[in-house]
Amino acid sequence: MKMTPMAPKCGVEISGIQLATCSDEEMEAVKQAIYEHGVAVFRDQEFSPEDHIRFGKRWGGIDINNYFPLQQDFQEIAVVKKEADQKTNIGGDWHTDHSYDQIPAMGSVLVARELPPSGGDTMWAHMGAAYDALSDEVKAEIEGLEAFHTADHIYKADGLYAQTDMGRELRGHDLKTGAVHPVVIRHPHTGRKLLYVNKAFTINFVGKTREESMPLLEKLFAAALTDDNQCRLEWKPGTVAIWDNRTTWHNAVNDYQGHRREMHRITLSGEALAA
C-alpha cells in the first residue's frame, strides 16, 4: 500500500489496495490516513453496491440520508446526481456534511458511477491546517465559543434548493434540524485541534445574533480557504473517495453543464464532538 500526498496540507492518494477485499490491518491504516489527511482517494476500484455497503459497515454504523434520493435496491446508498438538463448540483459550495446534527456523521464513502467527459471535480479543505493558520489573537477570540448549525434554510419546502431545478429530487422538506457545537474541536482519534464552522450550515455563535456573528465567521471562512489548504480530485471511472467531515470541508464543482453525473454515497456514523 502506497500513500502519495494530493497537496501539502490536505488529501492523500492510496494505491496498491482493493477496498472491497482489504485486510483489517489495511483498513486500520486507511482510517488513520483519513483522520490525518482529511480525505483519501483510491483509483481502479472494483466496488459493487454490495461491496460499498459491506465496507461502510466495517467502519461502524451507516447513517441513512434524510434528503437525497436513495438507491432503489440498496437503501443505505444515497444517490448524488445531476441530470444533463439540470443547472444546479448537490453540494456546490463549501460545507461539511451533517454539522446540523447533534452527533454529526463521521464522513462519507463516495463512489463514481457516471461521470461527465470533463469537470465535476471535488475539492476539500483541511480544518486542522485552517486552525493552525489563525493568528494567536483569533485563536484566543474563538476559544470556548460555540456555534449553532442548521440545514432548514437549505432543505425546507421553501429553502434554497426548492428554488432551483434540483428541488424536485430531494426529500425531507418537513424536517427540523439544529445543533450546537464548539467552534474549535479536538479530533477524537488524532487529538488535533480543528476549526468546526462551515459556510453552509453555521448560522451564529451562541449568545450572538447572525448579524453580530458574521464578521468573525467570515474571517474564519476565509482562513479555511487559503490555496495551500486545499486539494482537488479529478474523478475517473473506478475512483472512490473517503473523507472525514470533522477534518475537512468539501465542495462539488459545478462545471459540467449539459452532462449527467451520478455518484453513490454512504454516510458513516460519527460520535459526539468535544472542544
Residues noted as catalytic: 95, 97, 250, 265
Strand partners, 259: none
274 Ramachandran zone, left/alpha/beta (phi>0; psi -120 to 50): beta
- The answer to whether the beta carbons of residues 80 and 264 sit under 8 Å apart is yes
- Alpha-carbon span 183 to 196, nearest angstrom: 5
Helices vs. strands in the chain: H and E counts, helices first: 6, 17
- The answer to whether the beta carbons of residues 79 and 234 sit under 8 Å apart is no
- The answer to whether the beta carbons of residues 75 and 64 sit under 8 Å apart is yes
Q: What are the cell numbers at 199?
A: 459556510
Three-class HEC string of 78-128: EEEEECCCCCCCCCCCCECCCCCCCCCCCEEEEEEEECCCCCCCEEEEEHH
Supply angle C-alpha 94, 98, 102, rounded to 5: 135
- The answer to whether the beta carbons of residues 147 and 195 sit under 8 Å apart is no
